[in-house]
Amino acid sequence: MGTAAAAGAANLRATDSLSDRIRIACIGVRSRGKDHINAFRKIPNVEIAAICDIDESVLSEGVELAASNGAKKPDAFTDFRKLLEDKTIDAVSIATPNHHHTLQTIWALQAGKHVYVEKPCSHDMFEAKQITAAARKYNHLLVQHGTQNRTSPSVRDAIAKLHDGLIGEIYMARGLCFKWRDTIGRAQEEPVPAGVHYDSWIGPAPVRPFTKNRFHYNWHWQWDYGNGDIGNQGPHQSDICRWGLGVTYPNKVSALGGHFMFDDDQETPNVITASYEFRDAAGRQKHMVFEVRHWMSNHEAGLDGGIVHDSNTIGAIFYGSKGYLAIEENGRYQTWLGRDYAHGPAGFHEASHFENFIAALRSGKATDLNAPIEEGAISTTLVHLANISYRLGRTLYFDAENYRCEGDEEATAMFRRKYRAGFEVPEVA
């Protein structure tokens, strides 16, 4: 639990609307946003009051989904700022592209809304700092980060066992993201499709001509909008690794990789290995590695989705003096102990991260959030530092106290992008 959020817990508003019926708006509903709609519509006394998307066809589908099974039809918006003018909306849930997350969160807080924001909560290092500062400033409001494994009872049990010494002294953690990602090909510039509000979609990013590879989903692989798979899948496993190791910011980061096999429009690496060095509260060195592979690969430590021939290997592995523990993407965990790798404790139990958010709104206690934005922002910096190291081709020495890379002004300059007029992320006092 972040100290800023804990300090603000006593100041949270406890209004009748939050103790009775909560009105929420879902922002960005093409892909992950549909999961938001489906989750919130199942929670008692939660009304999806509004849907917002810049693609009118996606917007219509979202409204239809939210209104299914006899639910009240939500209001529809293509402009997030217009939606925020509705004072009856208690909270917003944001599943837009990465480059919108911080600005939309800050706008929502300024409008008096609680926020659930998807990972990564920022597009760069500067934004990670500002989103935390905004949560601290508006500490009567709650901000939940979409690292949902922090709500999983089995993951929480696994982390507790790690901290209780099940596998001894933990010296290393590895995050794995081995996903089959086919080529995105090359897309020609073309007119903006009918019903797409492209200026709003661009938001803080530079204005570039429309192509399909700068739009739905493939934006993940363009630096203007996304952060590659280390910033797409990576925040989940990076967060678990950091949590299990009991560390905050790294002091040393080095990443190598490249874009292999395909000649296409992808800018971000499809293979990257990032190494991190930390010091825990006792000053002990801890090591973490995060690996992204984009094609055929082996499974490790039972991280196979429970399906022998599943193509993806996603999870976190911890290595200690008495054994190792693996946590899968879905929250299942297993342990192997001793020199003979005897099977130790295991578990699998799912829970709703969205329900945790709603429960915290009802209680009015920031301490009830399982993934407060302070924790999400720290984990997100692991993504950004790795990408900066990769792009510059050198090791970074991060000074967390001064929030800069020691002796590397070029790297520090990459902490903050240039914003388009009207979409500037503010420096929050």
Q: Average pLDDT of the chain?
A: 94
Whether 10 has a pLDDT exceeding 70, the answer reads no
Backbone dihedral angles phi then psi of residue 159, each to the nearest 5 degrees: -65, -40
Task: Please enumerate in sequence order all residues whose Cβ is within 8 A of that of 191, keeping only pairs 6 or more positions apart, or say none.
Answer: 210
Sequence-distant (6+) residues with CB within 8 A of 428 are: 106, 130, 133, 134, 137
| pLDDT tens digits, one per residue of 72-81 | 999 999 999 9
Instruction: Express as a percent the part of the chain with pLDDT over 70.
Output: 94
- Span 41-49, average pLDDT: 97
- The helix/strand/coil state of 253 is strand
What are the backbone dihedrals phi and psi of residue 158, each rounded to the nearest 5 degrees, phi first? Answer: -60, -45
pLDDT score for 309: 54
- Gap between the Cα atoms of 326 and 43, Å rounded: 31
Is 174:241 a contact under the CB 8 Å cutoff?
yes
Residues 6+ apart with CB under 8 A from 297: 178, 313
- Sign of the torsion formed by the C-alpha atoms of 205, 234, 271 and 246: positive
Q: How confident is the model over 107-136, as a mean pLDDT?
A: 98
Q: pLDDT over 90 for what percent of the chain?
A: 91
Predicted pLDDT at 429: 78
Angle at 383 between CA 379 and CA 385, to 5 degrees: 105
Domains in the chain, CATH or no CATH each: 3-149+353-372 (3.40.50.720)
Specify the pTM.
Answer: 0.94
Residues 307-322: pLDDT tens digits?
Answer: 555 689 999 999 999 9
